[in-house]
Amino acid sequence: MSTKHEKILQYIESLPVGDKISVRQIAKEMQVSEGTAYRAIKEAENRRLVSSIERVGTIRIEKKKKENIERLTFAEIVNIVDGQVLGGKAGLHKTLTKFVIGAMQLDDMMRYTDAGSLLIVGNRIQAHQNALKAGAAVLITGGFDTTEENKRLADELELPIISSSYDTFTVATMINRAIYDQLIKKDILLIEDIYIPMEETATLRNTDSIADFQNLNMKTSHGAFPVLTHTNKLVGMVTVKDVIGKEDHEPIDKVMTKNPISGSMKTSVASAGHRMIWEGIDLLPIVNDDGILQGVISRQDVLKALQHAQRQPQHGETIDDLVKSEMKVMGEEDVVVEFTVTPQMTNHYGAISYGAFTTLLAEVGAFALKRRKRGDAVAENMTIYFIKPIQMESVLTVVPHILDMSRKFVKMDFDIFNGNTLVGKAMMMFQLLER
The domain segmentation of the chain, as residue ranges, is 4-60, 74-187, 192-307, 319-432
pLDDT of res. 309: 58
Edge-to-edge strands, sheet with 234-239: 204-205, 224-228, 234-239, 257-258
Q: Which CATH superfamily is domain 192-307 in?
A: CBS-domain (3.10.580.10)
Q: How far apart are alpha carbons 1 and 290 in whole angstroms?
A: 8
Q: Is the pLDDT of residue 66 over 60?
A: no
Give the residue, 270 or 286, on which the prediction is more confident.
286
Q: How many CB atoms lie within 10 A of CB 103?
A: 12
Q: Is the pLDDT of residue 280 over 90?
A: no
Least confident of 122-126, 159-163, 276-280: 276-280
Tell if the pTM clears 0.75, that is, is over it: no
Q: Is 289 helix (H, G, I), strand (E, B) or coil?
A: coil
Q: How much is the average pLDDT of 26-40?
A: 90
pLDDT of res. 69: 46
| Residue 41 falls in which region: left (phi positive, over 0), alpha (psi -120 to 50) or beta | alpha
Place 307 in a pLDDT band, splitting at 50, 70 and 90: low
* Domains 4-60 and 74-187 are alike in CATH topology: no
Q: Which alpha helices (H) appear in 337-389, and where do they start and end?
A: 354-371
pLDDT of res. 379: 85
Q: Is the pLDDT of residue 312 over 60?
A: no
Domain 74-187: state its class: alpha beta
| CA 167 to centroid of chain Cα atoms | 30
- Helix then strand then coil, in percent of the chain rounded to 5, is 40, 30, 35
Q: How far apart are alpha carbons 38 and 324 in whole angstroms?
A: 42
Place 1 in a pLDDT band, splitting at 50, 70 and 90: very low
- Rounded to a whole number of angstroms, the CA Rg of the chain reads 28
Please count the helices (runs of H) and the strands (runs of E) in the chain: 16, 23
pLDDT of res. 427: 96
pLDDT of res. 184: 59
Look up the CATH number of domain 4-60: 1.10.10.10
Give the residue, 391 or 310, on which the prediction is more confident.
391
Positive or negative torsion for Cα 168, 169, 170, 172: positive
Q: Is the pLDDT of residue 68 over 50?
A: no
pLDDT of res. 162: 95
Least confident of 74-78, 184-188, 218-222, 245-249: 184-188
Mean pLDDT value across the chain: 86
Q: How far apart are alpha carbons 385 and 404 in whole angstroms?
A: 19
Look up the CATH number of domain 319-432: 3.10.129.10
pLDDT of res. 166: 93
DSSP letters for 14-81:
HSPTT-EE-HHHHHHHHT--HHHHHHHHHHHHHTTSEEEETTTEEEE-PPPPP-SS--EEHHHHHHHT
Percent of the chain's residues with pLDDT above 70: 91
**Residue 414 contacts residue 399 (beta carbons within 8 Å):** yes
Q: Is the pLDDT of residue 313 over 70?
A: no
Q: How far apart are alpha carbons 321 and 366 in whole angstroms?
A: 14
| Residue 331 falls in which region: left (phi positive, over 0), alpha (psi -120 to 50) or beta | beta
pLDDT of res. 333: 67
pLDDT of res. 64: 56
pLDDT in tens, 377-387: 788 899 999 99
pLDDT in tens, 341-382: 988 888 888 899 999 999 999 989 988 888 876 667 788 899
Q: How much is the average pLDDT of 49-68?
A: 73
Percent of the chain's residues with pLDDT above 90: 39
Place 305 in a pLDDT band, splitting at 50, 70 and 90: confident
User: Which residues are 139's β-sheet partners?
Assistant: 120, 162
Q: Is 398 exposed, middle or buried (0-12, 13-18, 19+ CB in 10 A)?
A: buried
Burial call 182-214: b when 16+ CB within 10 Å, e when fewer: bbeebbebbbeebbbebeebebbebebbbebbe
